[in-house]
Structure 1
């Protein structure tokens, strides 16, 4: 069967939203007969495969690839690309969906303009009335426009998602996805800089689903390591616009190291990898970035410029633990209310205040909440602090010492207390708060290093003893 477009869908345990995704393709105005659908079941353990087989049994132009082990979205896309029979291909993730006119409208524009790459809009879909702010990677198109090079619109270098685009077969050779957490950065950017004609379309929409049940993404040291590798791969493309994108990515990695309370060894490992992968950032790069994105703050300008001037340990100490200029203090206290579904941003109350050392008293109105099963209090963000709650029972805190101590010490830029949920319509919290001094930070830094060394010694000793028990030649 000859089709106009191939759609690639990697699926791993996507049963919850998979039908909505597949229905949005089956119901395209172009007609399902004109679409080749290649679904890669990436070793799902839920009901995804049964759903896939149901659709493939009903529609003859569905192809199913079953991975014998979990390969990840990137390698799953690579396997599917090898099976494409159309002149154009696109991608969709199994928990997302698209507007009903997306493919008909896009192919029509491609045929008229002879574009080899088309980019259409995307919106964040939460399933609620909450509207996600536009982010720097979301280059929404306000008008239909054809450009012959990304140099005409350098901001497009930030359009790194693979799924809001349609690619001509001349670009397939650039679609080599990695097996990292950032599998599409290199593939998409390579396509962007090698496309001869790019059509920007305002008339189709990709709906990217975001889960609001968690307040932040679960960023781990592996994210920092993988994004650092992606930075190096992008630099190796030798394209001037890539420097803009890497300014953003370098700042992302630095923010994660500063913001999250990882083990020191992990922090050093990420900074070391970043220093290996990120070439020297120049004032020119930073100024050009600021020119294009005047509203986007490059917090870590000095850090970027000095990334390769220090060894990793010195850099970490200087820019995370001892440089008070690093702190991006938000003079806001936040109260999260759990109504039975966990803490989320749409159940948060903020109060702006000027912190005092003793007896900060803030009153939160809880009358709009029907069921209060949990309360999380964030006294401040963007600074290392010590704090204590004077009038409400603390159940737990993400502090670096026991909650029974007089003060709780926080070596995280997002300190929070979980409080006893028994309260009336109004909750007054009385708390003391001080910024940690350099001496206090240095002491905690030293103790943290000692605890990690001791932990590693225990693990190494266990491994050595375990080897001795199994191998009589190990002495």
Structure 2
């Protein structure tokens, strides 16, 4: 009998997670007898397949395909697609799992709404619990939505993963994944553009495991080159909304170039590659990106000027001449237990600054009799900032602590906070902006004028004092 749905699961080096993955399949509310499970053994070197075979021996729905050599995730998906016999297919990565109602609920919605693509919610899962992620591709679905024209929902082009979707057979011919990294981006965008009706479901969940040992967590030369190739392929789709996604990927490549320590020749190669694949960036596309993601930090000036310099000049100007504050930064909390603020009682949190509502939590366990707290939002930059949830009693700012924002013309900005601080954890909600060159120049002119005026007063007083001291010469 024809199955209701085919699930393709490439398997490689996941013996710690594969059981949880397969259990979420065999316990689906739709019944395992209605699911065609296609396991593609990508020449895994561990004991994953020993676990898989126990399921395959028990459930006739399982098909096992063995790659003779390691092919990678994209090619393994392509191989699995050749064995699909149902009208619908989905993918499940072997270290992830899904909610037990996912397939029944999804297929019901597909049939009720006559859609050829369904996208369901996904959550990031790590160390036994759901975790919040700062990920532009994680678009939160608050309600079920039926879509007839994808271009009315430009943010959906950021849902580039292959795995949280169910595809009708009319879209199978588009599912041709590449060999490199980021194999699903172009395929997914092409599918979104060609699907006639799309349903966004909030009623079932794909659990994506955040695995720090994953290849996508370790940035290498291949990451840079492969994402540049993806950028080139995305331009071929010739869609104005896809261009917004391209800007994000250009930003990702620039982030890697700036943040990681490469040898100069590699950095030059990366910039040249990025310049080659990136067509002239339109100001209108950048403005649309800002409109869609107003709180997302990205290298607007750098992107717009990518083609205006040779690679060496670009690197000098945008990596080495400026410190780049949009990469990971450190906020520090100093705890005073009666002996003042010192480095011995400092707690650091690494974060990526954003304009509004940075929310950082500091663990105060281990500190007793706290008499004061000092918060340093960011070091090494001239900033304006404000604390939203705790009263400030002092700050080394250049204006009043009662102003809307505090302006810091010091590279070591700090706030002294008011409170009893008896809880184990302290959450600080703050806004932060980097002072522009124009603002900085204006502020320093004003500051220098004040300093000059004070110096004139001091000099005049000193001059009068000297005249008074030596008046016996008269």
**Same fold, TM-score > 0.5, yes or no:** yes
Q: 1:394 aligns to what? A: none
Once the two structures are superposed, what CA deviation does each residue of 1:306-326 show, in whole Å capped at 9, x if it has no partner?
212222222112211123577
Q: 1:10 aligns to what? A: 10
Once the two structures are superposed, what CA deviation does each residue of 1:28-47 show, in whole Å capped at 9, x if it has no partner?
00000110010100011111
CA–CA distance in structure 2, aligned partners of residues 53 and 150 of structure 1? 41
Q: 1:391 aligns to what? A: none
User: In the alignment, is the contact (CA less than 8 A) between 1:327 and 1:382 conserved in 2?
Assistant: no
Change (3 A) 1:351 1:175: closer
2:47 is equivalent to residue 51 of structure 1: no
Give the match's secondary structure for 1:223: helix
2:223 is equivalent to residue 197 of structure 1: no
CA–CA distance in structure 2, aligned partners of residues 194 and 57 of structure 1? 39
Give the match's secondary structure for 1:241: helix
Count of aligned pairs: 351
Let me know the Cα RMSD of the aligned residues.
2.8
Give the match's secondary structure for 2:16: coil
CA–CA distance in structure 2, aligned partners of residues 167 and 276 of structure 1? 34
Change (3 A) 1:27 1:248: same
Change (3 A) 1:37 1:151: same
Q: 1:149 aligns to what? A: 149
Once the two structures are superposed, what CA deviation does each residue of 1:223-277 show, in whole Å capped at 9, x if it has no partner?
1111110011111111111101011110010011000011112211211111111
Q: 1:314 aligns to what? A: 313
Question: Residues 319-398 of structure 1 correspond to what in structure 2 (within 5 A)?
Answer: 319-324=318-323, 330=329, 332-333=331-332, 349-350=348-349, 367=366
Return 5+ residue gaps in structure 2 as ranges.
Answer: 335-346, 352-362, 368-377, 383-474
CA–CA distance in structure 2, aligned partners of residues 240 and 80 of structure 1? 32
Question: Residues 242-321 of structure 1 correspond to what in structure 2 (within 5 A)?
Answer: 242-298=242-298, 300-321=299-320
Q: 1:82 aligns to what? A: 82
User: In the alignment, is the contact (CA less than 8 A) between 1:328 and 1:382 conserved in 2?
Assistant: no
Q: TM-score, length-normalised on structure 1?
A: 0.69
User: In the alignment, is the contact (CA less than 8 A) between 1:12 and 1:42 conserved in 2?
Assistant: yes
User: In the alignment, is the contact (CA less than 8 A) between 1:190 and 1:237 conserved in 2?
Assistant: yes
TM-superposed CA distance for 1:106, in Å, is: 0.2
Bigger Rg over Cα: 2
User: In the alignment, is the contact (CA less than 8 A) between 2:150 and 2:156 conserved in 1?
Assistant: yes
TM-superposed CA distance for 1:151, in Å, is: 1.1
CA–CA distance in structure 1, aligned partners of residues 89 and 160 of structure 2? 16
Q: 2:106 aligns to what? A: 106
Return 5+ residue gaps in structure 1 as ranges.
Answer: 336-347, 353-363, 369-378, 384-475
Change (3 A) 1:130 1:165: closer
Change (3 A) 1:328 1:94: closer
Change (3 A) 1:365 1:141: closer
Once the two structures are superposed, what CA deviation does each residue of 1:357-379 show, in whole Å capped at 9, x if it has no partner?
xxxxxxx97738xxxxxxxxxx9
Q: Which moved more, 1:238-247 or 1:96-105?
A: 238-247
